[in-house]
Structure 1
């Protein structure tokens, strides 16, 4: 074996050098050693993508780590396209595997059916054989045995054929799911906000690594059932989109908006305090109550949109569930006191 060409040796040396810089940075900021995070920090220390470096610096300054969803989104924005093993290639490879496996199952299914038909034909002929070397009783016993065995084999192959058909259905389901895998798993399709999955991941990451000052705002659209019942679900969806957009527009300095479920939204406010988070919620509340929407079916303008807010700040020994419960309690109080308000009253 000869020596590696200089270009290859240089590449290996560069890669080793970058890893020596990237790994300590990841350890310093308590960033999990996932392939995506390796790729991000490997590129970061290479200083070849200023926009990525700035985004990483801003996130680490805000969260004192890199939240998992933020890392995923940065990877998709800055690195996913040039990487050989990107999501689309993986999907295509898996789809090709599923197609091949499906074809094999179909062939096996056909073979099993032909095998069953052949057995039936053979045993049908055996039933007509008149073996002169055997007594009639012996022949009849033999035929009865063969018929019995034929029934058992027929039942077995029928079951096997059914199992293959079931497997084919599962393959078809897998292909459909793979076809949907290009959709972003972190965003709500209706509002464009981050979804509950992203919320759970970000909240867990924040509380595990940088919980101090973390605040949670829960927001619930007032009388949302009224919009659906009186104007229809399509207008209800428009209300959700409009409120989601207003909430997202209010997100600054690391604040993120999530559709928590139904007509409820959540905002994570890192490195803050209850007073600041409450002020943010109050500003959003005033913005929401100014929203208007036109009902084209009735040629009427909807201008009674409002929302209630519950705010809570993480305290030592709090779990994610505790923080959500505290915020939800404040939201319930805002609803009880008449809606369209922020609780607690002061930070």
Structure 2
């Protein structure tokens, strides 16, 4: 590196660190790389995306920083990790099935050996000389016992491998849980919600929170099946995502419950948004392909809370969730509080 390059890098770094401090960005290696590239203006698309995010949200949330890092900074190998995990999971499932089949075939082979021994004993009784018969029997018994020992060891190895695969699959599932995106609906998940609301709280940014829950979803699943239930979750998630304009972000909070963080928005704005969304969900229609029936009875209940100065993020969530439960008790398909 020549002196000019070193001086330029130093100057860029001097601008990067204060900017990260200003926006209260955690000082992780990925964030350093992201904000260093932003300051250096080496990636116009990155700068455009970050400027747009900061203008809309007043900040760059941890979830967004991570997304931008993967989109603009990370190597292709890093970007492909998620796909690799999925492929590896599928591969392990196939290997596991193959192992199960092999175990079955091995047991069948041993059964056939036992039948063969019975036939040899019959042949001895039906005409071979004692010496010839016993020589044949001794040789085959010795060989078959070797095979039995070999297959026994093979079965043990397969059982061990299956246990290792089960352990690895569990580890991969745990790793996949760390992703920011909900696999079914495509919107942000609970992990992203927790990170982002903590970030807003730590930066003392005003916000309101909408919590919503699909009405009678368990009964819906029991009546129409989980596949149709998944269609409903996807449809509601699309409505949430489409409805979120500047300084709003939607998340799947868990099961059939969702959340929307509205940065720099007051209670009145949050309630108006929730009411618009409630009416939009009422219009969702899904087709049951099993019988051609169209389902038009999907509704959701909402709870709203605006953060006060003294509240923690957990207290805001609890308050919004309480209003949500009250909305369900009062007949569902409504937004609370009323004002």
TM-score by length of 1: 0.70
CA drift of 1:46 comes to 1.2
CA distance in 1, matches of 2:180, 2:27: 21
1:290-309 → structure 2 map (5 Å cutoff): 290-309=283-302
Query: Is 1:274 matched with 2:267?
Result: yes
User: What is the deviation of 1:230?
Assistant: 1.1
After TM superposition, give the deviation of residue 196 of structure 1 in Å: 0.6
* Structure 1 residues 290 and 175: alpha-carbon distance in aligned structure 2, compared to 1, 3 A threshold: closer
- Distance, in Å, in 2 between the alignment partners of 1:35 and 1:295 is 48
Tell me by how many angstroms 1:176 deviates.
Answer: 7.1
- Distance in 1 of aligned mates of 2:246 and 2:12: 29
> Counterpart of 2:185 in 1: which secondary structure?
coil
* 1:247-293 CA-partner distances (Å, limit 9, x unpaired): 11111103111111111111111111000111111111111000101
Q: Which structure 2 residue ranges, 5 or more long, are not aligned? A: 89-155
The alignment covers a number of residue pairs equal to: 267
Q: Which secondary structure state, in structure 2, belongs to the residue aligned with residue 38 of structure 1?
A: helix
SS at match of 1:318: coil
Partner residue, 2:193: 199
Structure (1 or 2) with the greater helix fraction: 2
Correspondence for 1:129: none
Q: CA deviation at 1:318?
A: 0.9
In 2, Cα distance between the equivalents of 1:224 and 1:169? 36
> In the alignment, does 2:14 pair up with 1:20?
yes
Give 5+ residue unaligned stretches, structure 1.
1-6, 96-161
Matched, 1:242 2:235: yes
Partner secondary structure for residue 211 of structure 2:
strand
Alignment of 1:17-96 (within 5 A): 17-81=11-75, 88=81
CA contact (8 A) 1:211 1:314 kept: no
Contact 1:31/1:65, CA 8 A, preserved across alignment: no
Cα distance change on mapping 1:11 and 1:315 into 2, 3 Å = same
Name the SS of the counterpart of 2:304 in structure 1.
strand
- Give the secondary-structure state (helix, strand or coil) at the position aligned to 1:191: coil
1:255 aligns with 2:248: yes
C-alpha distance in 2, partners of 1:33/1:196? 23
Among 165, 175, 186, the residue aligned to 2:180: 186
Q: Which moved more, 1:233-242 or 1:182-191?
A: 182-191
Q: Deviations over 1:154-184 (max 9, x none)?
A: xxxxxxxx9xx98995698348745985787
State the 1:304 CA deviation.
0.6
Instruction: Tell me: CA distance 1:18–1:171, structure 2 relative to 1, closer, same or farther (3 Å).
Output: farther
Q: What value does the CA root-mean-square deviation take over the aligned residues? A: 2.9
